[in-house]
Chain A
Amino acid sequence: MISLKNKDIISILDVTKEEILYILDISKRMEEEGSSEILNGKVLANLFFEPSTRTRISFETAMKRLGGQVVGFDELGTTSTVKGESLRDSVKIIEGYCDIIVLRHFLEGASRLTADSVTIPVINAGDGASQHPTQTFVDLYTIKKVKGELENLSIGFLGDLKYGRTAHSLAYAMSNFGAEMYFISPPSLRIPKDYLEELESRNVTYHEVESLNEVSSKLDILYCTRIQKERFSDPVEYEKVRGIYKLSKPVMDELDVKEDLKILHPLPRVDEMDESLDDTSYAVYFQQAHSGIPVRETLLATVLGAIQ
């Protein structure tokens, strides 16, 4: 029997295929059943050392819809970190005030350090360019919902595959389901070797290409990512790749694609997807964004032991 009670959700590498399917099943139930009081009396500490409106609000909403309370902060300037306090000390103190920690941090591995430092469950809400596992569960939930299954899909990852942590996490997760993967990016934003090594060790068939046209007809899912200006130290390098891929209805009309292709994007978008795409049958990214609530409700409720 699967139980996620007290499990830290830090990296998709820590989660088994069975646990993924379990989380997706409960998420479906959460979406169908709506609000409840199963987390009444529980307190979530939302510790956002790096700003993220969407993820923070969706965790807050999820916790409140299940009857729980939320404390926390969303900017570094209000924390003891600016006084020189170590992350370990900060979270060990906050642990005494709450039942679960959700953490976003600008340093890679900060969530793992937090989980190692406290005894209550920790959920990684994104650390640096590393993992963002809860977004991955949202992506998986959306894919399962729109395609009916996760097995043996062809999935294209488009855009910033170097810094795009959501693409990295999703690729790892989809490796459990026999996916064939197409990594579509300019040479300077190719997926790092680390991730390809991990995929190779899981016997994933993958292809690296620069042009979407080369592979569009093969795809069941196209996962777009934003080219993240904030990850570039050199603005000249950013300008070289900015706007390199622009999806729109006219572009899709010209492309050879499967009729039931679905396009996902973790949002926010900049100029990689035109609004004209929104009303096409391909676009499921707003549905994807809304799935953040039932999925995060599920993660909070299962690691807190409210659902066994």
Chain B
Amino acid sequence: MKKYEVSAIKEGTVIDQIASRSTFKVANILNIQDIDQVVLIGYNLSSKKLGKKGIIKIEGKLLTQEEVNKISLISPDATVNIIKGSEVVEKFKVAIPDSIEEFLKCFNPNCVSNHQDIQSRFYVINKNPIRIRCHYCERHMGEDDIELV
């Protein structure tokens, strides 16, 4: 029987339990278009927990903390599995941080953070559903307002 190269990875990361509609956003966060090793994306797979889920398997990549934080904002149920020698050696659920700096853009066009050369800063005021407050203009953003940079 033919063995599919994409069915499993030997060394790398599997991001599982991605909210299906966020699968390609997660792929963007991970810049998969720039990865020259094996990448498998599963989309609309059945999931007991989520109904439908996405899964991304990437050979030869470990996620950075910033990437994990970004994924947590758009898919808070996602899990990260670290694979070594074809075995899962570590598994954890992404955790939404209490505060976020740098990689988010405030959705308020009149916020000072969009007009001055400063780092954006937000506080997470609710994790499910996600609601975050801008340190500067104090406006609240929900999942649909989140724009990663």
Listed in ascending order, the chain A residues whose CB lies under 8 Å from chain B are 11, 13, 86-88, 105-110, 112-113, 127-131, 192-194, 197-198, 201
Across the interface, A110 reaches (CB within 8 A) one of B112, B125, B135, B140, namely B112
Q: How far is the CB of A230 from chain B (nearest CB, A)?
A: 13
CB <8 Å contact, A128 and B116: no
Q: How many residues of B contact A (CB 8 A)?
A: 19
Tell me the bound Cα distance from A87 to B117 in angstroms: 10
> Does B138 belong to the interface (CB within 8 Å)?
yes
> Does B108 belong to the interface (CB within 8 Å)?
yes
CB <8 Å contact, A128 and B140: no
Listed in ascending order, the chain B residues whose CB lies under 8 Å from chain A are 108, 110-113, 115-118, 125, 131, 133-140
Closest 8 CB pairs of A and B: A109-B136, A108-B137, A109-B137, A194-B140, A109-B112, A107-B112, A110-B112, A112-B136
CB <8 Å contact, B116 and A130: no
Give 11 CB contacts A-B under 8 Å.
A108-B112, A108-B139, A109-B111, A109-B112, A109-B134, A109-B137, A113-B116, A113-B136, A127-B112, A194-B138, A194-B139
Q: How far is the CB of A182 from chain B (nearest CB, A)?
A: 22
New A-B pairs, 15, CB < 8 Å, besides A107-B111, A109-B113: A88-B116, A107-B110, A107-B116, A108-B111, A109-B112, A109-B134, A109-B136, A109-B137, A113-B113, A113-B116, A130-B138, A131-B138, A194-B140, A197-B131, A201-B125
CB <8 Å contact, A86 and B111: no
Tell me the bound Cα distance from A14 to B141 in angstroms: 20
Tell me the bound Cα distance from A223 to B111 in angstroms: 27
Known: A11-B138, A108-B136, A197-B131. Contact between A113 and B110, CB under 8 A?
A: no
Residues of A within 8 A of B115 (CB): 107
CB <8 Å contact, B140 and A197: yes
Tell me the bound Cα distance from A87 to B136 in angstroms: 13
Tell me the bound Cα distance from A113 to B117 in angstroms: 11
CB <8 Å contact, B139 and A113: no
Tell me the bound Cα distance from A106 to B109 in angstroms: 12
Tell me the bound Cα distance from A105 to B110 in angstroms: 11
Residues of A within 8 A of B139 (CB): 108, 192, 194
Residues of B within 8 A of A108 (CB): 108, 110-112, 136-139
Q: Chain B residue with minimal CB distance to A117?
A: B118
Q: How far is the CB of B46 from chain A (nearest CB, A)?
A: 34
Q: How far is the CB of B120 from chain A (nearest CB, A)?
A: 10
Residues of B within 8 A of A131 (CB): 138
Tell me the bound Cα distance from A113 to B125 in angstroms: 21
Q: Chain B residue with minimal CB distance to A107?
A: B112
Tell me the bound Cα distance from A194 to B132 in angstroms: 10
Residues of A within 8 A of B108 (CB): 108
Tell me the bound Cα distance from A106 to B117 in angstroms: 17
Tell me the bound Cα distance from A109 to B137 in angstroms: 4
Known: A107-B111, A108-B108, A113-B112. Contact between A88 and B137, CB under 8 A?
A: no
Tell me the bound Cα distance from A70 to B133 in angstroms: 34
Residues of B within 8 A of A127 (CB): 112
CB <8 Å contact, A129 and B140: no
Residues of B within 8 A of A192 (CB): 139
Q: How far is the CB of B141 from chain A (nearest CB, A)?
A: 9
Q: How far is the CB of A269 from chain B (nearest CB, A)?
A: 25
Tell me the bound Cα distance from A198 to B125 in angstroms: 10
Q: How far is the CB of B86 from chain A (nearest CB, A)?
A: 46
CB <8 Å contact, B116 and A86: yes
Residues of B within 8 A of A201 (CB): 125
Q: Chain B residue with minimal CB distance to A106?
A: B110
Q: How far is the CB of B114 from chain A (nearest CB, A)?
A: 9
Tell me the bound Cα distance from A107 to B110 in angstroms: 6
Q: How far is the CB of A270 from chain B (nearest CB, A)?
A: 23
Q: Chain B residue with minimal CB distance to A110?
A: B112
CB <8 Å contact, B138 and A13: yes
Q: How far is the CB of B98 from chain A (nearest CB, A)?
A: 16
Residues of A within 8 A of B113 (CB): 109, 113
